Each structure stands twice: as C-alpha cells, then as structure tokens.
Structure 1
Amino acid sequence: MPYVEVNLPVKATKSEIYPILKNMEKYPEFMADLVSVEVVDRKETTTITKWVSNVDGRIIKWTELDTFDDAAMHIHYKQTEGDLKKFEGEWILTPLEDGTTEIKLTVDFEFGIPMIAGLLNPILKKKVRDNSMNMLTAIKERMENRA
C-alpha cells in the first residue's frame, strides 16, 4: 500500500494554522485541485465530509471521517466510502525553534485493483505526493500572505 508523507515549514504558530486546517469546507477557495468539500455532519470532535477532487482531469470522490484533537491540534482522517479502497492519514503540526511550524500531511492509500496496483501505485504515489504538497503550499501562502 502506498504511503506518502510531505512536510513544509510555515511562518505561523500552531494555533494560527490549526483553525485553517480544521475548516476543510474552505479548502477549495485556495486549493486548486479541490472542486468541493461539504460538511455532512459536525460534532464536537468529528466531522463527516464529502470531497470532490480534480486530479489531471479525473474526478475523484470520497467521504471521510475527520477526527479533531483540539488540545494537541492534530487531525486524523479516514475514508468511509469513495473511489479508493483505502484513504487515510493525518495532519501534524510541530513547532520549530525559529518560531515557524512544520505542517506534516500523511496519506496512506490503496487503489483497490491488485492486478494493476504494481503498475499504477508508483504513478498514483507521485500524484498523491504532488497534490499533498500543493495543499501544504496553498496553506503556507495563505498563512504567510495574510494582511
């Protein structure tokens, strides 16, 4: 199963970044690959969200359970239904010595067609890595270019 981990330092504190990460329905406003994110259900520590993404002209849809640990400013997500067999990971915020915060996004996924997984997994892994880094870059730009 492919696993992707990307990280990027951002000139902002955990407490400044976490609300942006948590407000997933706003992601399409500043993340080009996302068509939509809809909150279907919101509870105190979880949301159910429906996602539509456009990756190189291919529409990928899924529903995920997002679990928020506000004290640790940590988010875990897991697909509950959708186009991939498995799609889950986490957002991890780590303060750095210079006053910046490292944002780490992990994605553990499985395409779900074993016979072609060997052929597709390297391609999909690169696409997921690129898309994940684009998400981090969009958050970095949003945080560092705010007025």
Structure 2
Amino acid sequence: MRSVELEARFPGVTQDDAYARIGDFARYSSLVAAVRRVTVHPAAQPGQLHSDWEVDFRNGVLSWSEADHFDDERRLISFAQTTGDFETFTGQWGVRTDGDGCAVRFGAKFDFGLPSLAGIIDPVAERVLRETILGILDGLLGTGPVSTDGIRVGT
C-alpha cells in the first residue's frame, strides 16, 4: 500500500475556518482543474457524509465513493472509499492551531490492486494526489502556505 502525507501552515487562518473550508468538498472542483466533480450526500447520522468523486488521472478519470466522518471537536475528517477504482483508499485531514494561524495535515493510503503495474501507476498517483491537495489548500485557504513540512510519499 502506498501513502502520501503532507503538512502545510497558513498564517492568519484560524483552525475553525480552515476546518470548515476543508469540509466543503463540493467546492473542490471549482478550485483545481484535476477535480472534475464532487457530489456530496448527507448521511443519516450527524458528522457523516457520503461523497462521490471524479478526478483526472493520466489519460482518464478516477471515480470513487467514500464515507466521510467529521470529528468537529478534534478538527479531523476521516475518509474511506466504499466503491470505486481503488482497491483501497483511506485517509484523514487534520487541522490545528499553529502560532497566529493553523497547520493542516493530510494523509492518505491507497492501493490500486494491480501489483504488476504498481511501479508505473503508484508514483504518478502520489504526484497527482500531492499536487491536487496543495492546489485545494491554496484555493481554500489563501495564496499558498508559508511552508510545507513533512511532505512524504512512499510505501
């Protein structure tokens, strides 16, 4: 299974504001060209959503549905694919106060379930995911983070 993790700091953006903006998945397609569509469906229980995603990938489109869980107290959003093009896709957004602003952490693990193509597809997926997340954060929280620390990709 492959993973991508990054943390970015945003001065002047409060933890609560960042958390609310990150949780507005329906806006993502207006922020980054690679995100074609996100359809959000309310779940039966508070703090939960279901969302359907379409994202450009190489010469095609990745599609999946996920269950999203919001922990407002801890400012964490966890997600797990329920159906779609990945064999496994899970992750989490976390927001915390950092000085006069906030720090946003994103982490995801994924597996396409194609071991024979993993050496070709996985590095491209890591790059696309990282670039897409940084683009989303830039669009949601301002003109770009002051710093991005702890960026890590790999197995």
Please state which band the TM-score falls in when normalised by the shorter chain.
Answer: 0.7 to 0.9
The answer as to whether partners of 1:37 and 1:49 remain within 8 angstroms in 2 is: yes
Q: Would you say how many aligned residue pairs link Structure 1 and Structure 2?
A: 143
Using the alignment, how far apart are the partners of 1:118 and 1:143 within structure 2? Answer: 31
1:79–1:126 CA distance, 2 compared to 1 (3 A): same
Quick one: which of 92, 101, 105 aligns to 1:90? 92
The answer as to whether partners of 1:9 and 1:103 remain within 8 angstroms in 2 is: yes
The answer as to whether partners of 1:63 and 1:82 remain within 8 angstroms in 2 is: yes
1:108–1:34 CA distance, 2 compared to 1 (3 A): same
Quick one: which of 63, 66, 69 aligns to 2:65? 63
More strand by share: 2
Paired position in structure 1 for 2:2: 2
1:107–1:28 CA distance, 2 compared to 1 (3 A): same
Runs of 4+ in 1 over 3 A off after TM superposition: none
- 1:107 maps to amino acid: A
Using the alignment, how far apart are the partners of 2:81 and 2:118 within structure 1? Answer: 19
TM value normalised by structure 1 = 0.87
Give me the CA root mean square deviation.
Answer: 2.0
**TM-aligned CA deviation for residue 142 of structure 1:** 7.2
**TM-aligned CA deviation for residue 13 of structure 1:** 0.7
- The superposition leaves residues 51-91 of structure 1 with CA deviations (integer Å, 9 ceiling, x where unpaired) of 11123442111000000001111100110011111111000
The DSSP-based 3-state class of the residue aligned with 1:44 is: coil
More helix by share: 1
Q: Structure with the greater relative contact order (CA < 8 A, sep ≥ 6): 1 or 2? A: 2
